[in-house]
Structure 1
Amino acid sequence: MSIDKYNLGVYVEGGRLWPHVDCYGLVLEVRRDLGLPAWPEWSEMRKADGGFVRACEEMIQTAAIRCPAEHGATASAYRGQVQDHVGIVLELDGALEVLEINPKRNVSLTPLRRFERRFSRVEYYR
């Protein structure tokens, strides 16, 4: 899998239209490219008003299946008890990394264990 496409991503809060996406928008784009089942777009979701937390809780309860960290799994990251961020796990050159986007760095690849250390808890879903 070539990740060159994703380097063009630009963080936009609530963004769902590639390349202007937030963390959930990036997950949706990669899931489409991997041929995984579609998840709701929740274009009205915003982190600032609590929409991100509500939407992710709904996703976990209705559409997602918990799994180990594996290629194509969504990494759901928590700060304390609050889900704060998502990324998507990719296996590249035999290693698991998390592709993510945020306002400071735009798109980046983070080794799985380093990603996990940044948060109080990380769960994986397909």
Structure 2
Amino acid sequence: MFNPDKYLTVKWQMGGRVFPILDCYGLVHEVRKDLGLDEWPDFNGVVSDDGGMNREAQLFRNRVAETGPCEGAVAACFNHQLVVHLAIVINIGGQLMVMESQKGTNVTIMEIQRFERRYRNQVRYFK
């Protein structure tokens, strides 16, 4: 069973891919592993500051399917056509929520609607 409390110890760091030091994609990768889902590439060294996350996301997008929010779906946040942030949908007590890792706040969990409003409804989900 998935335990979201594990992630309360996470510290955000750009490029973090090894628990408990995780950036947004590091968190996605770790949660997918804990949910027993197929692993996505770890994109070690890829960060958003240099446009690398967007470049790799666009290349990888051909290997995943767009979906609605569902457990394990990756929430990709866009600014126009650029991927600027990633998060993951989790199930807590039968309610779908979004978990993200960001500088200054580390890991937060929120309702999908709140997450989508934060990113001005420019969120698409992939599985």
Fold-level similarity (TM above 0.5): yes
1:73 matched to 2:73:
yes
- Paired with 2:12 and 2:123, the residues of 1 have a C-alpha distance of 22
- Paired with 1:18 and 1:69, the residues of 2 have a C-alpha distance of 25
1:119 matched to 2:113:
no
Unaligned runs of 5+ in 2: none
3-state DSSP class of the match of 2:67?
A: coil
Runs of 4+, deviation exceeding 2 Å: none
The amino acid of 1:100's aligned partner reads E
- Paired with 1:81 and 1:117, the residues of 2 have a C-alpha distance of 18
Per the alignment, residue 2 of structure 1 pairs with: 3
3-state DSSP class of the match of 2:85?
A: strand
The amino acid of 1:105's aligned partner reads T
**Normalising by structure 2, what TM-score?**
0.93
Per the alignment, residue 19 of structure 1 pairs with: 20
The amino acid of 1:90's aligned partner reads I
Unaligned runs of 5+ in 1: none
How well do the aligned residues superpose, as a CA RMSD in angstroms? 1.1
- Paired with 1:60 and 1:26, the residues of 2 have a C-alpha distance of 18
Once the two structures are TM-superposed, the CA of residue 91 in structure 1 deviates from its matched residue by 1.6
- Paired with 2:10 and 2:52, the residues of 1 have a C-alpha distance of 22
**Normalising by structure 1, what TM-score?**
0.94
Aligned residues, how many?
125
Please give the per-residue CA displacement for 1:6-25, whole angstroms capped at 9, x wherever unaligned.
11111110111111111000
Once the two structures are TM-superposed, the CA of residue 28 in structure 1 deviates from its matched residue by 0.2
Per the alignment, residue 54 of structure 1 pairs with: 55
3-state DSSP class of the match of 1:11?
A: coil
